[in-house]
Amino acid sequence: MTRMRFLIVCAAIMMFAASCVHEFQFPQGDVDKDVVVVEGYITNELQRHTIKITRLNSYNDTIVNNVSGAFVAVTSGTSTYFYHEREDGVYESDESFVGVAGSVYFLHVEIDSGKVVLSAESTMLPVTPPDKVTFAPTTDNNLVISHIAESFVSENPAKYVLQLSWADPQTNRPKNAVIYYYSLTTVDISQLFAPKVSETAFPPGTQIVERKYSIDRAYENYLRSLLAETRWSGGYFDEAHGNLHTNINILTTNNPNLKTAGYFSANTVYIDTLVAR
């Protein structure tokens, strides 16, 4: 076979492979029956911390059911913090407390009159000061954020939450926006080729409250799986979809099909306020 013919055959094979479309049958039925979702975190802020407990029945029944009547407690060292049900499925600590960097926090949850016992563990790591937030002008005299932090870091991964507040120049009504950003210790191909997201534009003088949260390696893995299913999904190099990482463990259950989802984390937070210029 001549070199030219060989190249033509290879090109034809590649075109044929790229053009193949296979029908995918989405699994139906009680695939994730009785999934208990536990979500919550504690920080070094003096406040009443919250834990949310819900239950998702199946793919066919996507109604989220709040789990009431649970026993919830967080323990670290010799200290134990009990939680009460503030509203359906939302549990708040009886007292305000401050998380301490370097401490390990254990979550204990009992539902279904104690027939199901769940646990989770998270270490609160220290947080470093954030980078300087910078802005870039738009063509209509607004601003957009040009830099929050590096998306890849060799150590100290972090989660950023920026809360923006300003008055609409036309109506003078208050407007708000929340921006999430993550610095992770690995770079995923789906992250590099993630779909474009629209930028949030705001006028000069916008008030910004920036929170930088420390995250441990386990929580980083959870965030990476969450981003792969959401923000990074739909790009040129989409990863295979799957369940999110979780640190919610089952200690006791009367249901052999029970699964868990969600995450409990302990995060040190650095808070800064700035004005966009």
Give per-residue pLDDT as tens, 74-124.
999 999 999 999 999 999 999 999 999 999 999 999 999 999 999 999 999
Q: pTM above the 0.85 mark? A: no
Strands 35-43, 259-267: pairing kind: parallel
Query: pLDDT digit string (tens) for 17-29?
Result: 444 445 545 454 4
Per-residue model confidence (pLDDT) at position 89: 95
Q: Name the residue with tokens 């109506």.
A: 171
DSSP letter at 14 equals H
Per-residue model confidence (pLDDT) at position 76: 97
Domains of the chain: 35-125+243-266 (2.60.40)
**Cα–Cα distance measured from residue 39 to residue 32, given in angstroms and rounded to the nearest whole number:** 18
Per-residue model confidence (pLDDT) at position 270: 97
Measured torsion, CA atoms of residues 276, 181, 147, 267, in degrees rounded to the nearest 10: 80
**Cα–Cα distance measured from residue 220 to residue 115, given in angstroms and rounded to the nearest whole number:** 31
Q: In the chain, how long is the greatest CA-to-CA distance?
A: 80
